[in-house]
Structure 1
């Protein structure tokens, strides 16, 4: 079963945001307009490292975006929805065959 990201919490003793909640936090402060390409997103956010899950290591946003099939996002919601699936695959260790093949040739 998929783990949903936590809700935002300003309490420093609460767990750190991960996945799309962490990305959404970065988007709040970014100068990004939609539609936007993957490159636009990375340029606007500065390619932050984002925790994959509640107890998982961080991953560069650009790496997660590589696992998204869409090149252009029409809205913030579309970006976050696509990223949710990519973060879930990263968190559970499941990736598509296409992403696996891409990783073989980019190494």
Structure 2
């Protein structure tokens, strides 16, 4: 998932803010990982980054997300990402405060 950041006068920022699976993929791109791979090796190779899970800046530690998959080993990158997807989605949805949280997420942060 990715979303455009709020508009501002400076153009120094990124064009998009990555969160969820795209953010996890960018950490994997920077790591030297060969598959099959276990959780411990993934954490060591990535440095256990905080994975953004929404546009509000909430994060989950990569090691925590891996632990929540309840898997010790991943046979391929696709296998890993498929296991992480529901975990990161659950983490993202768990922070929403019902209807109010949903409506608030639609309002740009500069207006809050």
Both proteins in one fold, TM over 0.5: yes
Count of aligned pairs between the two proteins: 87
Larger displacement relative to structure 2 (50-59 or 37-46) = 50-59
In the other structure, the counterpart of 1:68 is 69
Deviations 1:42-77 (A, max 9, x none): 010000011112224112101111110221000001
In the other structure, the counterpart of 2:23 is 22
> CA–CA distance in 2 between the matches of 1:46 and 1:71?
18
Normalised by the size of structure 1, how large is the TM-score?
0.73
Report the alpha carbon displacement of residue 20 of structure 1 after superposing the two structures with TM: 1.2
> CA–CA distance in 2 between the matches of 1:16 and 1:32?
24
Name segments (4+ residues, structure 1) moved above 6 Å: none
Matched, 1:91 2:92: yes
Which structure's CA Rg is the greater one? 2
> CA–CA distance in 2 between the matches of 1:40 and 1:12?
32
In the other structure, the counterpart of 2:6 is none
> CA–CA distance in 2 between the matches of 1:45 and 1:13?
22
User: 5+ unaligned residues in a row in structure 2: which ranges?
Assistant: 4-11, 96-112
Normalised by the size of structure 2, how large is the TM-score?
0.70
CA RMSD between the two structures: 2.0
User: 5+ unaligned residues in a row in structure 1: which ranges?
Assistant: 95-107
Q: 1:32 to 1:13 in 2, by over 3 A?
A: closer
